[in-house]
């Protein structure tokens, strides 16, 4: 339907919004909206009537025009690139959808996400990360950093748990399940959107049910299929710049909570040192993720993150602690058709040099590698 044909519906929607705000009324919100639609546009056909009711409810209770995209289980990413059309990722492919948003609508969406969390996004604070109630991650960038207008990116939270068998063949899946059960320390590495968090969920499902697990995340995405789990989530500073709780603060606190295992959703900075110390002080079987292109790159990135911290340690000491703490690096990748697969499982080799590689490949995308 053309924009001109939809204009009367937009006008009716605005009037219904105003009446909802002016009069709380009685009955459920859906009933009140349906009644107001009947009053405002009594001659509207059944399909358009349902569409208008759904649109008003989405604006009031959800995220307006993108609410149907959030309800679609095949949509894994929603990208609003400033005023204009909206893009989504569905089954690994980028698709442009027939939704047009102007600047005011995008700003309203961003405000609906960040305001309940006590966050602020404006010219003085133009970047924000947040989380929807279902766990989906939201990133917003506004002018002057976003040159062409406010941008919004939503990474969907996976509603369905993906089993380990979907990431690897039987031999590799059994290898990884056995490594988790035998309390080996693992790091999952890969690029953005490669499926690191989803694989971490699948690996954590192999932890024996009697163990106490503490999860630490920047934005809570892990949904471990178990009873005895404590979820901790970092908190950014509020609008006044106070109240920040960092991941490394939560990792340190987790050590005081009698954990059998600590699962850090993703290490991005100095918290890498706290994670390694936890692995080295009796909390074997811990799991985490990091961005890297290969297992050897993952080790170098972890070293760099440790060196970014306030504690000034020599590289040799960092490397020694890393090699003693970490057992396996699992590399995951996303393929063009949208599949996520384990492409390498590497064992950390103590005392190896950078020139010869610091990991030993024990499995690849095809299965176990003969030693």
Nearest to 138 by CA among 158, 125, 155: 155
DSSP element (H, E) containing 351: none
Place of tokens 């590495």: 189
**C-alpha to C-alpha distance for 268 and 247, rounded to whole angstroms:** 9
**C-alpha to C-alpha distance for 139 and 287, rounded to whole angstroms:** 25
Which bin fits 261, alpha (ψ -120 to 50), beta or left (φ > 0)? beta
Q: Are strands 261-264 and 287-291 parallel, antiparallel or unpaired?
A: parallel
Nearest to 189 by CA among 291, 111, 45: 291
Would you state the structure tokens that stand for residue 285, as one six-digit string?
């079987």
Q: What is the pLDDT along the chain (371 residues), one digit of tens a residue?
A: 444 444 566 677 667 666 665 666 665 666 676 777 776 676 676 777 777 666 665 665 567 778 788 888 888 889 999 998 899 988 778 889 988 888 988 888 888 888 777 777 888 888 888 878 777 888 899 999 999 999 999 988 765 678 899 999 999 999 999 999 999 999 999 998 888 988 998 999 899 988 999 999 887 778 887 788 999 988 877 666 677 888 888 988 998 999 999 998 888 888 888 888 888 877 889 999 999 999 999 999 999 998 887 778 888 888 888 988 999 999 999 887 778 899 999 999 887 666 667 899 999 988 888 66
pTM above 0.85, yes or no: no
CA 74 to each of CA 137, 161, 219, 334: distance values in angstroms, whole numbers, following the listed order: 16, 14, 21, 16
192-198-201-206 Cα dihedral, nearest 10 degrees: -110
Q: Are 239 and 118 in contact (CB under 8 A)?
A: yes
Q: How many CA atoms lie within 13 A of 340 on its CB side?
A: 26
Alpha helices in the chain (DSSP H): 3-22, 29-40, 46-61, 67-71, 103-114, 170-181, 196-204, 247-254, 271-280, 295-307, 315-325
CATH assignment, 66-155: 3.30.450.370
Which segments within 137-223 are labelled E, that is strand? 137-141, 151-155, 186-190, 213-217
**C-alpha to C-alpha distance for 234 and 257, rounded to whole angstroms:** 16
Q: Which CATH number fits domain 164-368: 3.90.1150.10, 3.20.20.150, 3.40.640.10, 3.40.50.300?
A: 3.40.50.300
**C-alpha to C-alpha distance for 170 and 93, rounded to whole angstroms:** 27
**C-alpha to C-alpha distance for 343 and 183, rounded to whole angstroms:** 22
pLDDT, position 101:
86
Question: Phi and psi for 33 in degrees, rounded to 5?
Answer: -65, -45
Nearest to 56 by CA among 78, 38, 80, 30: 30
pLDDT, position 346:
95
Nearest to 94 by CA among 73, 109, 69, 75: 75
Nearest to 59 by CA among 128, 3, 108, 2: 108
For helices 295-307 and 271-280, angle between their N-to-C axes, nearest 10 degrees:
110
pLDDT, position 4:
42
Q: The dihedral of CA 57, 62, 65, 69: what is its sign? A: negative
**C-alpha to C-alpha distance for 287 and 296, rounded to whole angstroms:** 17
């Amino acid at each position: 339907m053309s924009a001109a044909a939809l204009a009367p519906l937009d006008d009716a929607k605005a009037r219904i919004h105003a009446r909802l705000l002016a009069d709380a009324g009685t009955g459920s919100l859906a009933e009140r909206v349906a009644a107001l639609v009947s009053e405002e546009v009594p001659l509207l056909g059944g399909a358009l009537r349902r569409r208008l009711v759904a649109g008003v409810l989405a604006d009031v209770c959800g995220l307006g025009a993108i609410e149907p995209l959030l309800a679609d289980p095949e949509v894994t990413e929603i990208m609003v690139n400033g005023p204009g059309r909206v893009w989504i990722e569905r089954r690994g492919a980028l698709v442009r959808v027939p939704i047009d948003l102007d600047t005011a609508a995008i700003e309203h969406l961003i405000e609906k996400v960040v305001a309940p969390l006590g966050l602020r996004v404006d010219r003085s604070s133009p970047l924000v990360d947040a989380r929807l109630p279902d766990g989906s991650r939201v990133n917003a960038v506004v002018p002057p950093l976003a040159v062409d207008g406010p941008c919004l990116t939503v990474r969907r939270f996976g509603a369905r748990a993906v089993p380990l068998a979907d990431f690897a063949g039987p031999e590799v899946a059994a290898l990884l399940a056995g490594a988790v059960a035998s309390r080996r320390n693992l790091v999952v590495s890969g690029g953005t959107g490669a499926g690191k968090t989803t694989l971490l969920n699948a690996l954590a499902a192999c932890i024996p049910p009697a163990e106490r697990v503490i999860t630490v995340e920047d934005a809570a995405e892990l949904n471990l299929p178990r009873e005895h789990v404590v979820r901790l989530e970092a908190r950014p500073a509020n609008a006044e710049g106070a109240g920040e709780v960092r991941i490394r603060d939560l990792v340190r606190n987790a050590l005081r909570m009698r954990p059998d295992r600590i699962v850090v959703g993703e290490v991005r900075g100095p918290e890498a040192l706290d994670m390694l110390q936890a692995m080295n002080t009796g909390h074997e079987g811990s799991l985490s993720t990091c961005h890297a292109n290969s297992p050897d790159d993952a080790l170098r990135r972890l070293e760099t993150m440790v060196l970014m911290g306030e504690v000034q340690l020599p590289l040799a000491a960092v490397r020694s602690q890393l090699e003693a703490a970490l057992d396996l690096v699992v590399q995951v990748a996303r393929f063009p058709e949208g599949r996520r697969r384990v492409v390498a499982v590497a064992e950390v080799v103590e005392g190896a040099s950078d020139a010869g590689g610091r990991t030993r490949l024990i499995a690849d995308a095809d299965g176990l590698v003969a030693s």
